Amino acid sequence: MSYFEQVSEATGFLQKMAELKEPPDVAVVLGSGLGDFASGLQGSRKILYKDIPHWPDSGVIGHEGALVIGRTADRRVAALAGRAHFYEGYDLRTVTFATRAIGMLGVKTIILTNAAGGINTSFSQGALMVIDDHINLLGSNPLAGPNDDRFGTRFPDMTTVYSARLRHLADEAGGALGMTLPHGVYVGLQGPSYETPAEIRYLRTIGADAVGMSTVPEAIVARHMGLEVLGISCISNMAAGVLPQPLNHEEVLATTRRVRGQFIALLEGIIGRI
Say which of 222, 237, 238, 239 is annotated catalytic: 237
Tell me if residue 115 is catalytic. Answer: yes
Say which of 87, 90, 136, 183 is annotated catalytic: 87
Say which of 85, 134, 173, 233 is annotated catalytic: 85
Cβ neighbors of 160 (< 8 A, separation 6 or more) are none
Tell me if residue 122 is catalytic. Answer: no
Tell me if residue 251 is catalytic. Answer: no
Say which of 249, 251, 254, 265 is annotated catalytic: 249
Tell me if residue 85 is catalytic. Answer: yes
Tell me if residue 233 is catalytic. Answer: no
What backbone torsions phi and psi does residue 242 show, to the nearest 5 degrees? -75, -45
Distance, C-alpha 272 to centroid of its chain: 19
Tell me if residue 88 is catalytic. Answer: yes
**Rounded to an integer, what distance in angstroms lies between the CA atom of residue 113 and that of residue 231?**
6
Tell me if residue 63 is catalytic. Answer: yes
Say which of 81, 104, 213, 225 is annotated catalytic: 213
**Rounded to an integer, what distance in angstroms lies between the CA atom of residue 243 and that of residue 235?**
14
Say which of 9, 88, 199, 251 is annotated catalytic: 88
Within 10 angstroms of residue 188's Cβ, the number of other Cβ atoms is 24
Tell me if residue 213 is catalytic. Answer: yes
Say which of 32, 58, 120, 233 is annotated catalytic: 32
Of 115, 114, 118, 128, which Cα lies nearest the Cα of 243?
A: 118
3-state secondary structure of 271: helix
Say which of 8, 58, 214, 236 is annotated catalytic: 214
Tell me if residue 3 is catalytic. Answer: no
Tell me if residue 268 is catalytic. Answer: no
Cβ neighbors of 104 (< 8 A, separation 6 or more) are 7, 8, 11
**Rounded to an integer, what distance in angstroms lies between the CA atom of residue 200 and that of residue 239?**
7
**Rounded to an integer, what distance in angstroms lies between the CA atom of residue 160 and that of residue 237?**
27
Say which of 10, 27, 63, 170 is annotated catalytic: 63
| Cα end-to-end distance, the chain, whole Å | 36
Q: Are 222 and 162 in contact (CB under 8 A)?
A: no
Q: Which residues are catalytic?
A: 32, 63, 85, 87-88, 115, 213-214, 237, 249
